[in-house]
Structure formats: C-alpha cells, structure tokens
Amino acid sequence: MSEFSPVLAQFLSRFVLQCPQPSTSSLPLRRAAVLVPVVNRATPSLLLTRRSSTLRKHAGQVAFPGGMMDAGDASLIATALREAQEEVAIPPHSVRVVGVLPPVTSSTGFQVTPVVGVVSDNVRWHPNEDEVESIFEMPLEEALRLGRYQPLDIYRRDRHHRVWLSWYEDYFIWGMTAGIIRALSLQVAE
C-alpha cells in the first residue's frame, strides 16, 4: 500500500489493537465476522454496502461485508476477508488488517467480530448481486463524528436494547452497523 494520508495516519496511530475476546457462556456460540474496510484515499473513507432486497435476513440494510464463520476459516479475520471477497470482490491480499473491535451480538444470535482493515484505493470492488444491492463510501472523518449517531431504546423479550441510528446521503445506517462505526469512533477518540 502507498503512503497514508494525514487523516488515515492519525486514525491508525490512535487505533488500539485488540485481540478477539474468547467466547464465554453468555455469548452466542455462532460466530461471524465483518470487515470494516477503511479505503486509503487522500480523504479516507469507510466502504459500506446496502444488502440485496431479496435476502431473507436484513434485506435492504446498510452493512459491512461479512458473515458466518465457515469450518474452513482459520480465524475470524479469515472469515471477514473471505466474506469481503465473496460480497464485494476485495482480494484478501489487498487488505492490511490493523485490528479488531470487541465482538457484538447480532439480533439473529451471532457473536460478530468487526475486523478493521485498510484497503488500497486502487482495488476495484463490485457487488455480488445475489447479496449486495449497492456499494458506497462514507468519508472516515464524517463516519467517526460521534454526534451523528442517535440512540433509540427498545424493549424486546423483557430486555432493554440501545440501537444507534444515522443517515448518510440516501443511506439509513442503524443497528449493528451504526453501533460498530460508533464503537470505532470511541476507540480512536482523542
């Protein structure tokens, strides 16, 4: 990868590497991972997708490329890289993994590990039309602005859940995706 822009260099210097947390009995046994792709541009960006409206789960939602860990995956990082290649054609060798965020539990019962990686700006991604309706980029500085995320408290099955909401252009970013971006914001906050 080429030299980083000042914004991306500052982001990387503040990002604290964390190892994936071991599973505990309180976390789901089903594991998954998403790639949080930071595109190395003069103005760095986050690469996000809008899932296909024909999918059975989370149809039409904004998401990071990712999915369930397969038996052949050596690690959750390998899962995130495989899924990114399958969904948006990002070759695994073109991603510089810089760390992971703590796992989150999805509404469908998965323990999801966000894998943060820097992707060269010369990679040409394209959607797997069976899974991804569109791909878009959000400027990293805008994505990391904590004030853009609004909380929504919901109660489901007698439990309190806080969900984060945000808009970017015509994209409604909420739930786990907004929560991951917000967690990344907190991770690199000064």
pLDDT band at 34 (very low <50, low <70, confident <90, very high): very high
Cβ of 151: how many Cβ atoms within 10 Å? 10
d(CA 63, CA 83): 12
| 92, part of any domain | yes
CA-closest candidate to residue 31, choices 113, 107, 116 = 113
| 138, part of any domain | yes
Dihedrals phi, psi of 77, to nearest 5 degrees? -65, -45
| 54, part of any domain | yes
| 162, part of any domain | no
d(CA 82, CA 175): 23
| 164, part of any domain | no
14-28, 70-84, 166-180: which range is least confident on average?
A: 14-28
Cβ of 186: how many Cβ atoms within 10 Å? 10
5-14, 35-44, 86-95: which range is least confident on average?
A: 5-14
1-5, 7-11, 137-141, 150-154: which range is least confident on average?
A: 1-5
| 154, part of any domain | no
- What does the pLDDT read at residue 145? 92
Q: Residue 97 sits in which domain range? A: 6-147+176-188
- Total domain count for the chain? 1
| 29, part of any domain | yes
| 103, part of any domain | yes
**What's the CATH code of the domain at 13?**
3.90.79.10
For range 20-43, the mean pLDDT: 77
Question: What confidence tens digit (pLDDT) does each residue in 48-77 have?
Answer: 998 766 656 655 678 899 989 999 999 999
d(CA 170, CA 111): 29
The answer for residues whose C-beta is within 8 angstroms of residue 81's C-beta and 6 or more apart is 35, 90, 92, 95, 97, 115, 117
